[in-house]
Amino acid sequence: MTDAGTATIDPALFRETLGHYPTGVAVVTAVSETGIPEGMVVGTFTSVSLDPPLIAFFPAKGSRSFARFRDAATFCINVLAADQEPLCRRLATGGAAKFDGVRWRPGPLGSPVLDGAVSWIECTFEDVREAGDHYIVLGRVQELGVARSTLPLLFFQGGYGKFSTGSFIAAPDPELIQAAQLAETIRSEVEDLSAAFAVGCSVLVKIGSDAVQVLTASGGRASETVPLGHRQPIIPPLGAVFMANAAPSEIEGWLQRAPDNSRDRRTLHGRLLDVVRNRGYSLLAAEPELLRRHQAVLTEFERSDRLPRQERDVRQATADLVDLFCPDLVAGRRYDLASIVVPVPTTADLPPMALRMTGMPKSAPTEQVETWIRGLRRVAAAPAMVGTSG
């Protein structure tokens, strides 16, 4: 048996094995005692403690870059963005001129903060300890900030890359293509309905946990701003029309996508789902501020490559619409509505589909809302939609 204390590890195997663990890429910057900006690329950066706030990085003992700023008063961790690979390669080289042409600004304590970095953390040296052929450098966090909320640069198996996140534009998918072809068979009916009421009408299909727009008509008004193939996460209370006939496991997944999965909130979402089942449609009342907030976080979600933090914002902004969802229709009242959605009764071999109306005029009487619902149901029940998809 090999003595664990004296075992010899093949360096190539060591690198290959640990190379299967992806790491973020950061640049540690500082101003040397001579006043020259210095920096080194590290893939071994980590948070250590919240109280006190400590981080660490692990330079090799033989690192000339680290030696040039080890005596600096402060240093800054710059988390690189996925589009900063050229900057990373430049700063990974040796030489005194590697900062030539690199754009940066002094942090609050004077350390270089690189332009375009995702975030920066300025620290004072807390401790430097030897650990084999490396140092463990502990830094006490003094200042920090997120400069650009975007995907970070990753290092994996000797190469650079980034997260592959879901896109807001749906990729080709057999179910999606089939649903889009089926929607095309009622294009004229959708366009006629849109023109008759001067509203927007669109056909949606549920793919995974997203609603994907596969057909749209604008009723002669301005062009639809949401493109075909656009995805929107289905988060309670939205998407109840798709859940009306879903399996219990699928409904459970929908409920769990809500930011608040407490018993009271699950009960509320379950009650709203029953309302949609019984009525055969869903309504969303128009409350401008909440709807603007919802659209804003969806837009930010898309622009940021669907980052987890933005996804949490989308979940919360969607959950905030719950009081606007499925108001009762009362004779003699008037309604400002953001959308009406009815299910499309397709066959079991197709994904769930729905027909949505948007852009309705304000202060619509109950009778007008009911007329819109009947029009949507008539188009959704077109023989081309409920026939076999063979």
67 pLDDT higher than 50: yes
Contact 107, 76 (CB under 8 A): yes
More confident residue, 263 or 94: 263
The share of the chain scoring above pLDDT 70, in percent, equals 85
Average pLDDT over residues 374-390: 72
- pTM over the 0.85 mark: no
CATH for 174-386, options being 3.30.450.40, 1.25.40.10, 3.40.640.10, 2.102.10.10: 3.30.450.40
99-133, pLDDT tens digit by residue? 888 999 999 999 999 999 999 999 999 999 999 99
Q: b/e map of 282-291 (b: 16 or more CB within 10 Å)?
A: bbbbebeebb
Where are the domains positioned within the chain? 17-161, 174-386
More confident residue, 136 or 90: 136
Contact 197, 372 (CB under 8 A): yes
172-184, pLDDT tens digit by residue? 556 667 777 878 8
Length of the chain: 390
- The pLDDT value recorded for residue 224 is 47
Distance between CA 183 and CA 239 in Å, rounded?
Answer: 19
Question: CB neighbours of 213 closer than 8 A, spacing ≥ 6?
Answer: 202, 203, 204, 226, 227, 228, 229, 230
Least confident of 140-144, 224-228, 356-360: 224-228
Residue found under tokens 């071999």: 349
The share of the chain scoring above pLDDT 90, in percent, equals 57
Q: 17-161: what CATH class?
A: mainly beta
